[in-house]
Structure 1
Amino acid sequence: MTTNKNLLVELFVEELPPKALKRLGEAFAAVLVEQLKAQGLAAAASRATAFASPRRLAVHVTEVAGRAADRAQSQKLMPVAVGLDAAGQATPALLKKLAALGADASAVAGLRRQQDGKAEALFHDSTVPGATLADGLQKALAEAIARLPIPKVMGYQLESGCELPGWSTVSFVRPAHGLVALHGSEVLLSVTALGLKAGNATHGHRFEAKADPVVLRDADSYARQLREEGAVIAGFEERKAEIARQLRAAAERIGGGVAPIEDDALLDEVTALVERPNVLVCQFEKEFLEVPQECLILTMKANQKYFPLLDAAGRLTHQFLVVSNITPDDPSAVIGGNERVVRPRLADAKFFFDQDRRKTLASRVESLGKVVYHNKLGTQGERVERVRAIAQAIARQWGGAELAAQADQAALLAKTDLVTDMVGEFPELQGTMGRYYALNDGLPQAVADAIEDHYRPRFAGDALPRNEVGVVVALADKLETLVGMFGIGNQPTGDRDPFALRRHALGVVRMLAEKNLPLDLDALLRAAVPAFGDKVQDPSVALRDFIYERLAGSLREQGYSAQEVDAVLALRPQRLGDVPKRLAAVRAFAALPEAAALAAANKRVSNILKKADAVDAHVSEVLLQEPAEKDLYAALQRIAPQADAQFAAGDYAAALQTLAALRAPVDAFFDGVMVNAEQTDLRLNRQGLLQVLHNAMNRVADLSRLAT
């Protein structure tokens, strides 16, 4: 039995792609540990700690055995009648099978007989030696490297002295220069990877390491030695937390309630760029603050990886934070260098802003006719006209002349910032710059806000447009995209959705539902189609189903059961703002003692009506013969009007609760009445009664979908 020790594996490489580093580190650790556990070398309780810095991927694993335990193996060979002759001697087939397993005729006496189905079979029992750590780690390391989510593989020549026979190049995310494999303090010398042999030495910070190389004493000293001797914080999350701490501390030193902008993606990227973070305070000239802060923030974050500082009101200040990878005694040169680098970027933004304001948005409309939108759908100019037409149709359904006029103006100008210099340089600012330029042109605030907001919601959880004009134009813009792309056959397939149609559909859903708009979905889709003329085939039916599918997925993510969602959306409710109330009503109904029986009865009614020809919801009292059908009819006459009134008032829960009183007469009807009577008039009358029942019961949701 071998003693368990902790294991450390590190790949030392050239600078890894920062946006992929976190994922690479997590995947390297997860796969390596998974493979060690699969071979019995790591225990189920073994804990793995991943390390990832710009120049290393590593993992520390607790409780790793030097050799896996031997395991018993039983292998079925063949039926006894095939393996042994009449005298009980091994047949050639059995001997051949044993030879393939590395055994000979002497093993025949030790074979085990066991019933296998109807026949008795021969089994060979053996003990498989456990894998050594060196062999098991070699396999695990190869698998971990092969399964890394590498964004782009590069090939490189092996270093002199490291070349393996027959190898000329290696393919990996970046050239690798070192491999560490330590089991406790023991170096697993036989382990290799990427043309490198395992050792116990790594390298620290390029400029600030106290020792180079850093010779590791054992697996457990890795992080401590790298920090103390190599000036490197090896753990990604530890380094990230240290950067966040320094950012907060620097802001507190400045005072005045300033705080660094919150951006977890930027924080992750900067964490992947430095090994020993050092946060410094820099500044730029206050005159640049005349430029919209979104422009300055974007250029500082995207191009320079700086953290802008905002005041307590959320306004950009002239100071920003830099995360340096060095800690000089005098940081002035580093600060000055970063300030010199950012100044031309901000000057460009100011130049673009000043130049763009010399032309009105209205004067740019004509230029959109020269910008191709889609080869089957024309230019951005043609698209703008379609959005205007759809916006007009929505405004007519919803509001008055003032809303229609403002929506038309916003739709006309919404895309004009696409031909400005600022958006040409920073496409992420489309809409945002349109708002600033609209205000500069003296347009109404509602129109300016709508120009920015018509892209909303841009992602899950994004804010909705802030005013009615914005909602109208945002709906029109998204419906134009959906109808146009569906109309030319560009629906999403599998994971592919190049035109973000799922996002656009969810945006439509969110606006209709969360704003509780008095707009019918089918009417919206029908109103959008004419704007395309003969460019598209009418996709309304397919598009409606697509939107309801997105709605269903969203509702399930919010915690509603698939059964509840199916019951409500089966009716294709036109006012999506009603859907949450319907779902709440269905959930309350499902908790009633009568719910299960009524759901089952509804399912039975639906099946009967499906098999019948077109059934008229009409009942002739003179044809009601059985007491149970008379009682059901009387109950419907008494209960249905009350439930209808509650439904009309929007009190869906009360309507379903009122209908629950039908359980007893419905049960009695199915117990005592033959629906499909031979006499035609009786059969049609009873089917008509069921149709009346079905109509009354299924206004809020299709209750038959609740039946188990």
Structure 2
Amino acid sequence: MVLKNILLEIGTEEIPSRFLPDTLEFLEKTARDDLASARIAFKSLSVFATPRRIALLVRDADERQSDLVNTFKGPAWNAAFDVNGNPTRAAHGFAKSRGVSIEQLTPTEVDGVRYACAEVSEPGGRSIDMLPELLPALIRKLVFPKNMYWDDPTVRFARPIRWILAMADREVIPFEYGGIRSGNSTVGHRFMGARNIVIGDAADFMDKLYDNYVILDQDKRRQKMLAGIASLEKDLDGSVELDPEVINENLYLVEYPVPFFGSFSRKYLEMPEEVLTTSMKKNQKYFSVRGKNGKLLPYFVGVSNNLASNMAVVREGNERVLRARLEDAAFFWGEDLRNPLAANVERLKNIVYQEKLGSLHDKIMTTRELALWLCGEMAMNDLVPVVDRAAFLAKADLVTNMVYEFPELQGLMGREYALRNGEPEKVARALYDQYLPKAAGSELPGEVPGAILGLAERTHVIVSCHKVGLEPSGSQDPYGLRRAARCINEIIWGLRLDVDVSRLAEQSMKLLSASPGTGEKVLAFLSQRLLMQVKEKGFGHELTSLAISVTGHRPLQVLRFLDVFSKLQGVEWFSNLVTSAVRVRNIISKSGGEAGTVDPALFARDAETALHGEIRRVLPLVDGAMEKQDWNGLAGYLAELSPFVTAFFDDVLVMDPDEKIKNNRIALLSMCSALFLKVGDVGVLKGA
């Protein structure tokens, strides 16, 4: 038998839109887990949310729980049955205690011992009888970024609960949560729907809501919203920028989306476009509109929650609000331009960067020194004038009115103000680029000066925070050090900058007078982050660790090394070389003591002479390849060496009865090991 639908709706005051996506994801997973634990099978489960309700709909649930089968372990099999297979008193007693016959006992092996076991089936009850406990427990488990609390400390929710609808087909599931009794009635749209809608059957729920201007399914709500926006584009002769964040925010701000458009004065287009789009997005949740040339048009698209009879009134009201916002922005813009960006630098002395680390001015001066050092380290001294000026102005926009109002515009406003102050374009670009990437996989710095500035600042942050004990712990990373380390690697890879991050960190430690202990923690932290980031690209742990040990902390060279050596895994000569490296390491480890000098006069086999000659030939070539970071060349030299090592082990008994010959062969293998170790402990790749 099938119980058609289980329905739960929690009606509330408006829940912040940002809460709902994560809540829906949690609700779906938790509901599935709870139904599985209750042994209630079903065909499908869906979750929905609007600003005023969160709903769960389970379709085609089984009318009864599935049976529960428990296996009970009894006496050992040889104690339950004699040698002739006859049941003993122990077997009879166990079978009786579990309510089964002797014939139902089965042998089951546990930890090497066979036991008599009984399977006892417990028939499932009615599914509907489980729901009065399951559903309120499910509500209680819901989590939000912020909660409101009731007199009962076990009751909490994002906003006050106004009604609860809980049904199984036509039957109400009775329970109470937060002082609200569950029932079979819901509420329509706040302005256009009925105040009380009785649901006769759970199957009719969504249709009844739709008739009262509530589109419960967020996917259908999205479709209606986007279709409405698309139709407006024809009137605007432009394209609406469908920012995913604005879409999702509007999606959970309305129950019945009605897109509309409005306009604003062209005079505001004299400000940077990002000021307008940020104001529209952040304050009003509007979409901006661009013309065919890609430039911003003096229009916006909003989403109303009301199918007003006169949309002109809605439009005018929104235009009035936006006009006030843009007028504020225009005032900030004008005021900020009255003072050169450079004049703001002195004001940074009054801003505490971190209590233990001094002012923001202190930070930028140290970062400036580090950035200039990095120019020299990378042999890019021609960039010093640009980097020096950009580092000096790096945080000057943080004290502007515009960035105070819109913190997300830091860097971008620095660029715009610098350009209007007559700063060189490359300096202005660096002020913007220093903040990139803002998220994993997002836009990278467009030019090297901004990349250098970004590398220097992020390294400074990592080192300074470790210096004063503010390193990440568990899931806590208040200063974003993990993100900073990730960005360092992404910048280096994206712009193909050959930077030794360990040297960069060491220079930062000198500038900050950090202790040696801090240095060890910082380098371990950076190595761990690099290891994890490279593994995300699909490289194995052992090979990645080898690459980092060989290349030093040079992220670009780590990837180049991996690009070459990852292709060698499984290749016969390389597999043989890895096997040989393990044998060499084991033999030397077991031999103990220091290896002597190789004496060619003691060679008794051609394979010894050949290997010795090949090591002497290849050794300087390997050194040269390592110095030039020529990983293809290095692989080639190892390929040339490999057959000589294999031939040696095929033809030569290292542990010769003659002590002198044995020691000479161990010395030869020590020579071979020293060459291998220049490439790292390749033996760790055995079985990788």
Partner of 1:581: 560
User: Does residue 224 of the first structure (1) align with residue 207 of the second (2)?
Assistant: yes
CA distance in 2, matches of 1:134, 1:193: 18
Give the aligned residue type for 1:591: G
Q: Deviations over 1:576-610 (max 9, x none)?
A: 32222211211221131233222122223334456
Q: TM-score, normalised by structure 1?
A: 0.86
Alpha-carbon distance in 2 for matches of 1:655, 1:63: 64
> Aligned letter for 2:489?
V
Identity across aligned pairs (percent)?
A: 30
* Equivalent in 299, 307, 316 of residue 319 of structure 1: 299
Q: Deviations over 1:319-350 (max 9, x none)?
A: 11111000112111111111111122111111
1:638 positional shift? 5.4
Give the corresponding residue for 1:152: 146
Code of the residue aligned with 1:418 in structure 2: it is L
The one-letter code of the counterpart of 2:140 is: A
| CA shift in 2, pair 1:698/1:121, >3 Å | closer
CA gap of 1:31–1:586, structure 2 versus 1, over 3 A, is: same
**CA 1:191–1:365: 2 relative to 1, 3 Å:** closer
Q: Does the residue aligned with 1:594 lie in a helix, a strand or coil? A: helix
Find the residue that maps to 2:137 and give its secondary structure: helix
- In the other structure, the counterpart of 2:537 is 558
CA distance in 2, matches of 1:82, 1:172: 58
1:65 to 46, 62, 65: 62
Q: Does 1:434 align with 2:422?
A: no
| Structure-2 residue corresponding to 1:104 | none
In the aligned structure 1, how far is the partner of 2:521 from the partner of 2:552? 16
After TM superposition, give the deviation of residue 217 of structure 1 in Å.
4.1
Q: Specify whether residues 215 and 408 from structure 1 end up closer, same or farther in structure 2 by C-alpha distance, changes over 3 A only.
A: same
Unmatched runs of 5 consecutive residues or more in structure 1: 102-106, 158-166
Give, as a single letter, the amino acid of the residue that structure 1 aligns with 2:56: V
In structure 2, the partner of 1:55 is: 52
Going from structure 1 to structure 2, the CA distance change for 1:72 and 1:526 (only over 3 Å counts) comes to closer
Cα pair distance change 1:120/1:577, threshold 3 Å: closer
Contact 1:513 1:579 in 2 (8 A): no
What is the distance in 2 between the residues matched to 1:362 and 1:298?
Answer: 25
The one-letter code of the counterpart of 1:174 is: R
Q: State how 1:246-261 maps to structure 2 within 5 Å.
A: 246-255=228-237, 258-261=238-241
Q: By how many angstroms is 1:295 displaced?
A: 1.9
* Cα offset, 1:446, TM superposition: 0.6
> Is 1:621–2:603 an aligned residue pair?
no
TM-score (norm. length: structure 2): 0.89
CA contact (8 A) 2:260 2:301 kept: yes
Secondary structure of the residue that 1:309 maps to in structure 2? Answer: strand
What is the root-mean-square deviation of aligned Cα atoms in Å? Answer: 3.5
CA drift at 1:179: 2.6
For 1:23, the equivalent position in structure 2 comes to 22
Q: Would the alpha carbon gap of residues 671 and 139 (structure 1) be closer, same or farther in structure 2, given more than 3 Å must change?
A: farther
Following TM superposition, by how much is the alpha carbon of 1:546 offset from its aligned partner in structure 2, in angstroms?
1.9
Q: Quick check: 1:28–1:58 contact (8 Å CA) kept in 2?
A: no
Q: Secondary structure at the match of 1:273?
A: coil
2:133 matches 1:139: yes
Distance 1:535 1:599, change over 3 A: closer
Partner of residue 370, structure 2: 390
Distance 1:690 1:509, change over 3 A: farther
1:464 aligns with 2:449: no
Q: Which amino acid aligns with 2:48?
A: F
Higher mean C-alpha deviation, range 321-330 or range 415-424: 415-424
Choose from 160, 167, 177 the match for 1:182.
167
Supply the distance in 1 between the matched residues of 2:52 and 2:328 (Cα, whole angstroms): 34
| Rounded Cα–Cα distance in structure 1 between residues aligned with 2:68 and 2:528 | 51
CA distance in 2, matches of 1:388, 1:561: 37
Contact 2:48 2:218 in 1 (8 A): yes
Amino acid at match of 1:347: E
* Native 8 Å contact 1:67 1:131 kept in 2: yes
Q: Secondary structure at the match of 1:323?
A: strand
* C-alpha separation in 2, matches of 1:380 and 1:72: 66
- 1:200-349 equivalence runs, <5 A: 200-209=184-193, 211-227=194-210, 229-255=211-237, 258-349=238-329
Distance between the aligned counterparts of 2:593 and 2:427, measured in 1?
Answer: 51
CA drift of 1:616 comes to 8.2
Following the alignment from structure 2 to structure 1, what is the Cα–Cα distance between the partners of residues 251 and 406?
24
- CA offset at residue 79 of structure 1? 8.1
Match of 2:612 among 630, 633, 636: 633
Which residue type is aligned with residue 511 of structure 1? I
1:667 maps to which residue?
646
Alignment counterpart, residue 693 of structure 1, candidates 640, 662, 672 = 672
Alpha-carbon distance between aligned partners in 1 of 2:355 and 2:438, rounded to the nearest angstrom: 24
Q: Does the 8 Å CA contact 2:11/2:163 hold for their aligned counterparts?
A: yes
Please identify, of 677-686 and 436-445, the stretch whose mean Cα deviation from structure 2 is larger.
677-686
Please tell me whether the aligned partners of residues 609 and 615 of structure 1 are also in contact (alpha carbons under 8 angstroms): no
| Paired AA for residue 247 in structure 1 | I
Shift of 1:198: 3.7
- Check whether the contact 1:410–1:451 (CA below 8 A) recurs between aligned residues: yes
Question: What is the distance in 2 between the residues matched to 1:665 and 1:399?
Answer: 41
Deviation per residue, 1:171-203 (Å, 9 max, x gap): 32222232333333x213435544444433211
CA contact (8 A) 2:329 2:402 kept: yes
Distance 1:607 1:499, change over 3 A: farther
Instruction: Give the whole-Å Cα distance in 2 for the aligned partners of 1:560 and 1:280.
Output: 50
Shift of 1:508: 1.7
Structure 1 counterpart of 2:374, which letter?
I
Summarize deviations over 1:331-382 as a string: whole Å, max 9, x none. 1111111111112211111111111111112212211112111222211111
What residue is the counterpart of 2:124 in the other structure?
130
* Amino acid across the alignment from 2:8: V
**Which blocks of at least 5 consecutive residues in structure 2 are unaligned?**
81-87
- 1:34 equivalent to 2:33? Answer yes
Mapped partners of 1:375, 1:607: distance in 2? 53
Determine whether 1:548 maps to 2:532.
no
Return the alpha-carbon distance in structure 1 between the equivalents of residues 546 and 337 of structure 2: 54
Distance in 2 (alpha carbons) for counterparts of 1:51 and 1:266: 19
> Is the 8 Å Cα contact of residues 261 and 310 (structure 1) preserved in structure 2?
yes
Mark the CA change 1:364 to 1:615 in structure 2 (over 3 Å): closer, same or farther.
farther
Matched residue of 1:174: which SS? coil
Matching residue of 1:161: none
For these two proteins, the number of residue pairs brought into alignment is: 679
Which of 146, 158, 170 is residue 173 of structure 1 equivalent to? 158
